[in-house]
Structure 1
Amino acid sequence: MNKTTLLKALVPDVVLPIAIYYACRRFGLHETISLLLGAGAALIRVLLVAVVSRRFNGLAALVCSGFAVGLLLTFLTGDPRFLLAKESVLSGLLGLLMLGSCLLGRPLMYALVRRLSADDPRKLAEWERLWRFEPQFRKVFLTLTLVWGIGLLAESITRIPLIYRLPLDVMTGLSTALQLGTFALLIGWSLLYRQRRLGKAAASGNIRALR
């Protein structure tokens, strides 16, 4: 799964809650009820996809956990803004995890891409060789992980205060726009960076390694 496919997979989980929220608000339902219905529908969708595909991966687990925590906190506190803040909290935690991985071990992006190529032993072996002996190869994944970590953390720090300052009807849509915008910018930058690195790899005869 490349980054563009990942964004397409995330869009339904991001757009469905907001669509249901504004539909419910149009019919006069309370803000809290509208958010709960939107989050509940998105959670059910993720679970149905997992059942149909017979695959409950880490991404699905992360999305489900976020919805579950948001729903629980909303019920316990009566504050529906937790359902919006949960996504930024998860983004911030993921950003911190990425930054920490650059200091404590192999960058998280490298681990994620290796996992996506787990069914190709020869490719995994080649990547392991490049990781050990090619500094430029390590630099690619270090840069990717640092930029994504900083971007996700910045999105979280920006969005959470807005959630508690702006009206809920405004922030429900704006929150989604900020989230999708952040992912779009990060993916766009990653594709440009990858293209540039491929050009350099082609010049050195090592283009296959970065594909």
Structure 2
Amino acid sequence: MSVALTLFLNGVLPLLLYVWLKKGHSEFMALLVASAVPLVESALYYARFRRLDAFGLLMLFGMVLSMLLALTGGEARLMLLRGSAVTALIGAVFLGSLAFPRPLIVPLARRFISSQKHGDFDALWSIPYARRVYRMMTAVWGVMLLGEAAVRTLLVWELSTAWFLAVSDIVFYGFIAATALWTVYYRRSAAKKLEGIRLGRLPS
């Protein structure tokens, strides 16, 4: 329920608000109102746990970028590239976080587990293999987001506007679904090995 509520407040609800408001308001205003939802949710999360909500901030970051790009205007093809620009910048954030002690996937994953399990989750960081797993997942998400942005950018220049609009969402959700499925299977495999390391059956 906690995961579902987080995804709804930071993803589904802002999208629904954006689509609804865009019918009678400017794109900038629609994005501005939609971005208030993850902002408020992040503020409430901080007030409760005294900790920043990495997932909510990531969603807010994407919306703020979209607002800034909406202000630039431009010709039709440049407007079609805005989504790819946001995806590319978020992918760059993932890859850039590898330079820090804890990559971005760590606070994101921590956000989706119950507070009772935070201690066990944090304890995993002492295991070298677990650190490699987190870095691998961060790197794969970063590369896939940049790859998705590159593919859609290429399609903008190779396809007509009508064809691009027809296949753009398919490409985006295809990349996201493929990466999510890889994450699920990779996490399951890593969890089995981590259990063996904890029991002393495998080296760390």
TM-score by length of structure 2 reads 0.69
Aligned to 1:83: 79
What is the DSSP-based 3-state SS (H/G/I as helix, E as strand, rest coil) of the residue aligned with 1:107? coil
Q: 2:9, 2:37 within 8 Å by CA — same for their partners in 1?
A: no
Q: 2:93, 2:142 within 8 Å by CA — same for their partners in 1?
A: yes
Aligned to 1:110: 106
- How far is the alpha carbon of 1:101 from its aligned partner? 1.8
Cα distance 1:14–1:166, how it changes in 2: closer, same or farther (>3 A)?
A: farther
Structure 1 residue runs of 5 or longer lacking an equivalent are: 25-35, 207-211
| Higher RCO (CA < 8 A, seq sep 6+) | 1
Cα distance 1:131–1:47, how it changes in 2: closer, same or farther (>3 A)?
A: closer
Aligned to 2:41: 55
Distance 1:46 1:7 in 2: 12
Q: How many residues align?
A: 183
Taking only aligned residues, the RMSD between alpha carbons, in angstroms, comes to: 3.7
CA displacement 1:92-145 (0-9 Å, x = unmatched): 12222222222343211013223445x72x64343333313x111111101101
Distance 2:8 2:153 in 1: 22
Picking from 75, 93, 96, the partner of 1:97 is 93
Letter in structure 2 aligned against 1:126:
D
TM-score by length of structure 1 reads 0.67
Cα distance 1:12–1:111, how it changes in 2: closer, same or farther (>3 A)?
A: closer
Distance 2:80 2:101 in 1: 32
Picking from 28, 31, 42, the partner of 1:43 is 31
Q: 1:69, 1:86 within 8 Å by CA — same for their partners in 2?
A: no
Letter in structure 1 aligned against 2:130:
F
Letter in structure 2 aligned against 1:91:
T
Structure 2 residue runs of 5 or longer lacking an equivalent are: 43-55, 200-204
Picking from 169, 190, 193, the partner of 1:200 is 193
Cα distance 1:50–1:104, how it changes in 2: closer, same or farther (>3 A)?
A: closer
Runs of 4+, deviation exceeding 6 Å: 11-18
Q: Percent identity?
A: 25
